[in-house]
Structure 1
Amino acid sequence: MRSTKGYSASVRRLQEELNRADAVLIGAGSGLSAAAGFTYSGPRFERHFADFKDKYGIEDMYSGGFYPFPTPEVYWAWWSRHIYYNRYVDIPKPVYSELLELVRDKDYFVLTTNVDHCFQKAGFDQQRLFYTQGDYGLFQCSQPCHLKTYDNEETVRQMLAAQKDMKIPTALIPHCPVCGRPMTVNLRSDDKFVEDAGWHRAARRYAEFIQRHEGLRVLYLELGVGTNTPGIIKYPFWVATAEHPSAVYACINAHEAYAPPQLGQRAICIQRDIAAVLSDLRK
């Protein structure tokens, strides 16, 4: 099912469901941050990575994250810039704060694959957040030899300030304080991703939220989730809505807003810019 009929009617229906819901489970993907201005291609990429594009042919920030850079000095020049502009600068548009205003007085929880810290910076309760895929603001051992992560802001800022000709000084390359191996960013890309103590505490809080609202009127609000990792948010939201007659699934996505036909009228699909939809909901 691709979309509900009539944009205005869909927004009104979603507002009604927000008001009626016993709880709201937000599932957020990269499309939410893109709607807020953290785009990974186009003018923003050109502004910050034109030199990497010219030398290495990298076309966007996402693909650049997988590029086999020739040396650690070049690798960390890229990644310090990537982390800084997607974690430590303010997001351009108030999309996250507008979302918070919509759910502030509700019993809500956030499940997200985003790693940019935007929910925390907007003021969302950290006890109601589960960042499943990591955090740009954390380093981990690349092995890893132990299950601990480390804040990286000071190191990233030093790398950014000291880099020249797409290289950082060798002395700034981070190494594990336990085994001495190179550090890496705490992002889930393979089986070496570190799920530290904070990750497990958040996972337990998420499981408890699900259990606590079993059978209640839950609004599963999916925002900007694509098909890269649908098993984390999209598919579980569909299944939970199908299994609980009082649940409602809502999907807002600029490019792909759809739901299984089995959900029928308990699915609200709005294929439009998330920022515009959230603004209309607040009106």
Structure 2
Amino acid sequence: MKEKYRKVLTKIEEADAILIGASNGLSISEGIHIFADDSSFQENFGNFREKYGFRSIIQGCFFPFPSEEEKWAFFSRMFEYFLINREASQVMKNLYELVKDKNYFVVTSNIDAHFPLAGFPKERLFEIEGNCRNLQCSHGCHNRIYPGDDVLSKMAQNQENGRVPSVLIPKCPECEGPMQVHIEVDRNFLRDESWQASLEAYQDFIGKAQGKKLVLLELGVGARNQMIKAPFINVTNHEEYATYITFNKGSELYVPDIIAAKSIGIDGNIAEVLQQLVQMK
């Protein structure tokens, strides 16, 4: 295994560009599992679990809450769980340590906003499905995203009987209708100017890496997550000097035959793999 780690480090050190793709497996390595009915979910969301019957954070994101007061109780709790009084995890610090001196870009479907927490700058980050700290009009009446930290914090700290006070509930500045967290849970998800700019930065990064030594570093991306995996496989297949490196666990580790010769797959706990690589660096 150490030989594989050394190969990964050499590829990273020699790369002209590193494209990082991250999904749920990376969050799980930090101790956050949005699909699991685990002890952490039960401890932090137990009252929602008991009242509404959903069994994970992701089910809560899609749940049709009967009122705005109850909806915002859940989403502000999720914001609190992901971000309030939380420092960057060792997992994210190690990832940053690995690539901070390189030319890199991050594309992620994670909604926990943990990349900026670890020092990854916004201009090098594309959060495809949004994140838990921004707000938008639920009707999409206008194409603008709003920072929600203040109002989400207040709602998280002022909950009673699974509800937040009506006076704290955000209203759309334009139509005065309901708002929602800017994550992709329905067709109203806004791809505003900042989202489009991030998409263009992502595409531009790939374009500028053509013909160069490109490492595509994939972290916890399952085979079904085609919005990250498919472009990574396609670029690796078409770029002569590209190397596809993927970290995942067990059956989630997937390297297609078409790029197997240009790939390194490491089966294991992502937290432990990153720790090992940083120690060897």
Smaller-chain TM-score bracket: over 0.9
1:38 Cα deviation (Å)?
2.1
Find the aligned partners of 1:181 and 1:122 in 2 and give their Cα distance.
Answer: 35
- Give the letter for the 1:12 counterpart: R
- Which of 243, 263, 272 lines up with 1:248 in the alignment? 243
| Counterparts of residues 167-186 of structure 1 (less than 5 Å) | 167-186=163-182
Find the aligned partners of 1:49 and 1:83 in 2 and give their Cα distance.
Answer: 12
SS at match of 2:200: helix
Change (3 A) 1:278 1:151: same
Kindly indicate whether the alpha-carbon contact (under 8 Å) linking 1:162 and 1:168 is maintained by their aligned counterparts in 2: yes
Is 1:147 aligned to 2:143, yes or no?
yes
Find the aligned partners of 1:45 and 1:139 in 2 and give their Cα distance.
Answer: 23
Change (3 A) 1:182 1:227: farther
Residues 74-99 of structure 1 deviation map (CA, whole Å, 9 limit, x = unaligned):
11111110122123341573111111
Is 1:12 aligned to 2:6, yes or no?
yes
Change (3 A) 1:67 1:227: farther
Residues 141-165 of structure 1 deviation map (CA, whole Å, 9 limit, x = unaligned):
0111101011111111221222111
| Aligned match of 1:164 | 160
Is 1:137 aligned to 2:137, yes or no?
no
- Which of 258, 263, 268 lines up with 1:272 in the alignment? 268
Worse-superposed segment, 64-73 or 138-147: 64-73
Worse-superposed segment, 138-147 or 13-22: 13-22
Find the aligned partners of 2:167 and 2:223 in 1 and give their Cα distance.
Answer: 40
Kindly indicate whether the alpha-carbon contact (under 8 Å) linking 1:111 and 1:129 is maintained by their aligned counterparts in 2: yes
- Which of 8, 17, 21 lines up with 1:27 in the alignment? 21
1:264 Cα deviation (Å)?
2.6
- What is the number of equivalent residue pairs in this alignment? 276
SS at match of 2:174: coil
Is 1:128 aligned to 2:124, yes or no?
yes
Kindly indicate whether the alpha-carbon contact (under 8 Å) linking 1:36 and 1:91 is maintained by their aligned counterparts in 2: no
1:182 Cα deviation (Å)?
0.3
What is the percentage of aligned positions where both structures have the same residue?
36
Kindly indicate whether the alpha-carbon contact (under 8 Å) linking 1:27 and 1:222 is maintained by their aligned counterparts in 2: yes
Instruction: Compute the TM-score of the two structures, normalised by the length of structure 2.
Output: 0.93
Kindly indicate whether the alpha-carbon contact (under 8 Å) linking 1:37 and 1:92 is maintained by their aligned counterparts in 2: no
Find the aligned partners of 2:188 and 2:54 in 1 and give their Cα distance.
Answer: 25
Change (3 A) 1:270 1:128: same
Kindly indicate whether the alpha-carbon contact (under 8 Å) linking 1:31 and 1:225 is maintained by their aligned counterparts in 2: yes
| Aligned match of 2:233 | 238
- Give the letter for the 1:250 counterpart: I
- Which of 195, 198, 211 lines up with 1:199 in the alignment? 195
Worse-superposed segment, 128-137 or 35-44: 35-44
Kindly indicate whether the alpha-carbon contact (under 8 Å) linking 1:29 and 1:225 is maintained by their aligned counterparts in 2: yes
Residues 91-143 of structure 1 deviation map (CA, whole Å, 9 limit, x = unaligned):
57311111111111111111111122211111112221111111211110011
- Give the letter for the 2:247 counterpart: I
Structure 2 stretches lacking a partner, 5+ long: none
Find the aligned partners of 1:273 and 1:215 in 2 and give their Cα distance.
Answer: 32
Kindly indicate whether the alpha-carbon contact (under 8 Å) linking 2:217 and 2:246 is maintained by their aligned counterparts in 1: yes
Find the aligned partners of 2:47 and 2:60 in 1 and give their Cα distance.
Answer: 12
SS at match of 1:163: coil
| Aligned match of 1:3 | none
1:228 Cα deviation (Å)?
4.8
- Larger RCO (CA under 8 A, 6+ residues apart): 1
